Amino acid sequence: MSNHFEVIVIGSGPAGYVCAIRCAQLGLSTALIEKETDASDKPQLGGTCLNVGCIPSKALLDSSQRYADTKSHLAEHGIGVNDVTLNIPEMMTRKEKIVSQLTGGVAGLLKHNKITVLSGAGQLLAGRQVELTDAEGQVALYSADNVVLASGSEPVEIPPAPIDGDRVVDSTGALCFDAVPTRLGVIGAGVIGLELGSVWARLGAEVVILEAMEQFLPAMDEQIAKESAKIFAKQGLDIRLGARVTGVEVTPEQVTVGYSSGDAEHTETFDRLIVAVGRRPRTDKLFSGDSGVSTDERGFVFVNEHCATEAPGVWAVGDIVRGPMLAHKGSEEGVMVAERIHGKAAQLNYEVVPSIIYTHPEVAAVGKNEQELKAEGVDYKVGTFPFAAIGRAQASGETDGLVKIVSDADSDQILGAHVVGPSAADLVQQIVIAMEMAASTEDLQLMVFGHPTMSEAVHEAALAADGRAIHMVNRPQR
């Protein structure tokens, strides 16, 4: 095997493996390096997303929602169920099977595209040389015309709550509980904390989420964040804002958390504690000091709008570069980089990258929100529509939430969309397509939406932006 490739990709998460596949599709000789291994000592492909992130968490979210529906919501449909039981080991087995199928699928795709998979830790050296250290400590040297860094991210730890892997766990550990905690603490009310808290709350745990910030979901549209908070409170999630964790005391049976709120000090005792305060880029030992690559104070690799680093022929994509840590953002960056390596003028429209929280109901957004537009001095208009007025939502018993669309007041171009409610992720994706095509609210108004569907809420929100909603009383236009 030659030690020179046209492209070497370090990291096999969504950004890395997608980049490698697209490079191979374009006829470039490609190698993919992955340092993590599975139980069989084979490269653990798929990164955080497939193995301990997006996929396993969504599997548990789906299983837990089915359990909650069966136990608490079928009676209103005239369906009686007795002796509903919960088998956590079986639920975990299902999760692992899904992960195995998907990671196996990635392996098959890499093989089909004739990509060389190398197992070990890769480090970029000067001149696009890559040093590979395998599990036995053996070192090999490779070279490439282009190197793509895609090493992903890892959970952030905080000094007051050190991870012990038993009573105090990170997001990975929270996916592997062998029983439902009677009382569960979560530090962090962000995407990860809300999703994991939702899983175990649905399965019967009393969940308390401690969030240091005073505002709930500050990056989201304020109206959507407030509506989401109401829904989650109704579901039993006890979210405490302005709660700064000061220390943790662990015993074999429980964990006691101390936190401050305002001028008061509090303690809470839990069976388990999840630390979900965010993620950081995994860039330690990823490149040598003379590689030409540099990072900011938080460890993010400096890149331009096309993900090129300061070193010629070296690129970086996914969680280790600026922007939201989202698998879909990283994978599209991987495609863009592959295309640019091949000489194509590819680019990525970062203005239309959707963000999603997979609670139930989902919370999703794309583009600008109201507070951002106000801060920028943009004259805008707003259309909102509640799911409670949608026939399909009524028939499904999914009436919480709303769709919100913000548009430029003069041009009518859609600037953003924000949804909390059933199928929020899919509804926002409809507006992502519209925004990519520079559509206006009028364009959505003129489209025919199927009836009865959840997407009718998108149509009505677009109509509401001009005071034309049909199935609610319109508010006076400002």
Tokens of 123: 């480090």
Q: Is 471 a catalytic residue?
A: no
Q: In what order do the strands lie in the sheet containing 402-408?
A: 355-357, 362-367, 414-421, 402-408, 380-386
**Is 376 exposed, middle or buried, given 0-12, 13-18 or 19+ CB atoms closer than 10 A?**
exposed
**Is 326 exposed, middle or buried, given 0-12, 13-18 or 19+ CB atoms closer than 10 A?**
buried
Lookup result for tokens 């169920």: 81
Tokens of 96: 């692992």
- Sheet strands (E) in 319-401: 355-357, 362-367, 380-386
- Sheet strands (E) in 321-360: 355-357
Facing residues of 403 across strands?
A: 385, 419
Tokens of 385: 């529509």
d(CA 454, CA 392): 6
- Classified as helix, coil or strand, 246 is strand
CB 116 within 8 A of CB 32: yes
Tokens of 433: 């397509």
Tokens of 408: 């430029």
Contacts of 364 (CB under 8 A, 6+ apart): 354, 355, 356, 357, 418, 419, 420, 424, 425, 427, 428
Pick the catalytic residue: 77, 306, 451, 471? 451
Element (DSSP H or E) covering residue 118: strand 116-119
| Measured CA angle at 417 (ends 216, 406), to 5 deg | 105
d(CA 181, CA 251): 15
Tokens of 420: 């909390």
Amino acid at 213: M
d(CA 418, CA 462): 12
For the annotated catalytic residues, the residue numbers are 451
